[in-house]
Structure 1
Amino acid sequence: MTGVFSLLPDGRHGLLGPPFDGGADLSRHLAAGGYAPLPAPGRLLDRIAAVGLRGRGGAGFPAAVKLRTVRDAAGPPVVVANGEEGEPGSVKDRWLLRHRPHLVLDGLRLAAALTGAARGHVYLSDAPAEQAVRQALAERPLDLPVDVVRAEHTYVAGEETAVVRRIDGGPALPTAKPPRPYESGVGGAPTLVANVETLARIAALHARPDDADLVAGAHLVTLSGAGGAAALVEVTAGTHLTVLADLAGHGRAGAVLLGGLFGGLHGAGWRDLPLDHDGLSAAGGALGCGALYFLRPEDCPVAVAAEATAYLAAQSARQCGVCVSGTGALATTLGAVARGEASDGTAETLRRWSRQLPGRGACGLLDAAAHLAATLLTHFPDRVDAHRGSACPACADPAPCDGRRFTVPVP
């Protein structure tokens, strides 16, 4: 069973708000200070910079830098609320759009004011989220025109150039960079593509300036795994992963898959890892979209890596030859390892590919697949070696490529 929990200190409410009761989102948002006038956009932008708010889409780029870059670009800009969650193990963006649409839209109108944008878009693929956003816009229209753009759900559809391409009427597929959207985006205009959690935090910073550090430092995290419950949790940065595992009944976990499929596998020592960008990066992982998948002691990390790379290979946009061949080779080889068909040189081949492939595709999909292989070899070399000549029971079935193991229902 899924759940929604807040672990913020002193009983304070973050983006999740009070325990969700299905009540009217607009009245709740207005009561919390939402849609307040913005007399001095520069002051809010300075506050965003001062508290170090980072984007919540995966890369963790400083939000103030991105806002200023779009503001200072040539030509009238466009702002986009990006709610397309490609990671199957993440639910935070769809949850916000379904249950806190006014918080996201408030952040979108503030981003427009900060950048000087005269039009905006909400980009998503989830039908219930689209219905909630359209209803919210009908309840309280923003002071700039906003289009709701629906895309087909794929792993790469939320990549920022894919977002721009779809809004402009094309397929939701990444394009080569440069230019990046802040240089030339929707209709050729400088474009801010901002994750919906990032926008929600901007709205919360404006409504509750006294809680600025808490708002900027907290994260929405999706917890899942076969050994416990799935949950959406708001937690302060730096919280040890063992606290989150225990909360959702994953205390027996022997390993964790970090940041959706992007942050890789982590074995011994995972319990002491802090939930923040710098701490996880220093440990060779990544926070990414904040999705954590816990592996039970009886789960085989080889099977998890094989299934994850099979999914990524199936989700390739098939525009970059190196991605098609690279993800395919990684998936095929890890599948062979899982089946007990690895040779003496297989591990070294995977290690070489994990060094050579990152950065060569138009988006991060190939990087994610390569990092999965690299972290499997780093943290579980003995498990890989044990598969030479024989598969373990957990790897008996072929790895499906639909992401079913990692998929979490929206609570």
Structure 2
Amino acid sequence: MTGVFSLLPEGRTGLLVPSLSEAGLPGGEDIDGYLAEGGYAPLVAPDRLLGRIAAAGLRGRGGAGFPAAVKLRTVRDAPGPRVIVANGEEGEPGSVKDRWLLRHRPHVVLDGLRLAAAVTGAGRGFVYLSDAEAERAVRRALAESAPELRIDVVRTEHTYVAGEETAVVRRVDGGPALPTAKPPRPFESGVGGAPTLVANVETLARIAVMYSRPDEADAVAGTHLVTLSGGGEGDAALVEVPVGAHLKVLADVCGHGRAEAVLLGGLFGGLYGEGWTDLPLDHDSLNAAGAALGCGALHFLHPDDCPVAVAVEAAAYLGAQSARQCGVCLSGTGAMTKALSAVASGEASHDTVAKLHRWSQQLPGRGACALLDAAARVVATLLAHFPDAVDAHCRSVCPACAGPAPEDGRRFTVTVP
């Protein structure tokens, strides 16, 4: 990897600590150093912190970008005992931000968990993860900080659906990490039946920094950790960037300046070709363009990368990662993968493409989680942004698409720095 670095203006507070990222300290941040930064300060006015979060417009970093203050307030106002879970399970193969935070900045995550618990009135907390190195760092940090709030660490298997909020609740309760039907949502009935806040670890980390640096709350809420990767000669990198940064700038900083397209949001945001360089990194702008920021993972496609091959691999990976609980998901991902494979091998007809169009419009929203939605968006954006490539594949075999489609997502996988 190129490494871990920040594109924030000089003097801005962020989550990337150069001394830690450059030294690659195996034990993560030091407790004394974190206390010197203002960490673990007593929370004397929970409502004031909630107001600060709302005023700064902090949005969740788990994928949906939901306003953090709304989630906090909803759990706070629920009756009875409440629970909070720091969700550090990254299902997207192209994202590394949450594991990096848990490995290298566990105290800022635990501090955010403590603060969010105080705001919501939660009496119990959990850190949910699958990464062994992250677990060791979190347990060390818990031993150093000895929080008053009871915090347990729950280990799960690493799968695409394991980080979905109802799967998180199910696993914390001792079951398999598989999504459940909704309603109820976790904020209504979560761990042990209690109202539960499932919060992404980056969201919690930003809450901690906003509390220790109140004058910079807007700046902290207005930056993202993004994972940049791609084929060709470019490198992968974890970068902290301000909201609104253009995707072309992000491509340039890690050697992907020749990229001709991008896969957004891990596998959830879709494939984008012409005009992608002008897209700004923020939820509203990307949603308006029919895209999604998701977990903040961007995979750049270079001139030698075939968008059809990328779509086939993405769909095949998602199909292999299906929880196999919803018939529509199992049959839908399978059908789309089979049809895309026919396109890639030059064996598709116009009827095949028509079916892909129809499925991409009819299948979203029909599964228990967003996996089926991700597969449908990959198909829909391939057809919308690369119609000439799809048409060419229907007429002849593409060398880049030769061979069976891999299911392991290796093309998109990034190593944690």
TM-score, normalised relative to structure 1: 0.99
Partner residue in 1 for 2:263: 257
The 2-side partners of 1:93 and 1:268 are apart by: 31
The 1-side partners of 2:163 and 2:351 are apart by: 37
Q: What pairs up with 1:136-147 in 2 under 5 angstroms?
A: 136-147=141-152
The 2-side partners of 1:132 and 1:387 are apart by: 48
Match of 1:324, as an amino acid?
L
Q: Pick one of 374, 379, 387 that aligns with 2:385.
A: 379
In structure 2, the gaps of 5 or more residues are: none
The 1-side partners of 2:292 and 2:14 are apart by: 23
Q: Pick one of 194, 201, 206 that aligns with 1:201.
A: 206
Match of 2:235, as an amino acid?
A
The 1-side partners of 2:29 and 2:97 are apart by: 19
Partner residue in 2 for 1:119: 124
CA drift at 1:18: 3.0
Q: What pairs up with 1:82-101 in 2 under 5 angstroms?
A: 82-101=87-106
Partner residue in 2 for 1:312: 318
Q: What pairs up with 1:19-168 in 2 under 5 angstroms?
A: 19-20=19-20, 21=23, 22=25, 24-168=29-173
User: Is 1:12 aligned to residue 12 of structure 2?
Assistant: yes
The 2-side partners of 1:177 and 1:132 are apart by: 33
Per the alignment, do residues 322 and 86 of structure 1 end up closer, same or farther by CA in structure 2, a change over 3 Å counting?
Answer: same
Match of 1:113, as an amino acid?
A
SS in 1 for 2:84: strand
Q: For 1:151-201, what per-residue CA distance to the aligned partner results, in whole angstroms no more than 9, with x for missing partners?
A: 000000000000000000000000000000000000000000000000000
Counterpart contact for 1:340–1:387, Cα < 8 Å: yes
Q: CA RMSD in A?
A: 0.9
Partner residue in 1 for 2:225: 220
The 1-side partners of 2:270 and 2:33 are apart by: 38
Q: For 1:218-257, what per-residue CA distance to the aligned partner results, in whole angstroms no more than 9, with x for missing partners?
A: 0000000012100000000000001110000000000000
Q: Pick one of 181, 186, 191 that aligns with 1:186.
A: 191
Partner residue in 2 for 1:321: 327
Q: For 1:255-280, what per-residue CA distance to the aligned partner results, in whole angstroms no more than 9, with x for missing partners?
A: 00000000000000111100000111
TM-score, normalised relative to structure 2: 0.97
The 2-side partners of 1:281 and 1:317 are apart by: 27
Which shows bigger deviation, 235-244 or 4-13? 4-13
The 1-side partners of 2:52 and 2:341 are apart by: 49
Match of 2:358, as an amino acid?
R
Partner residue in 2 for 1:296: 302
In structure 1, the gaps of 5 or more residues are: none
Match of 2:221, as an amino acid?
A
SS in 1 for 2:394: coil
Partner residue in 2 for 1:272: 278
Equivalent pairs counted in the alignment come to: 411
Counterpart contact for 1:219–1:234, Cα < 8 Å: yes
CA drift at 1:392: 1.1
CA drift at 1:19: 3.6
Match of 2:10, as an amino acid?
D
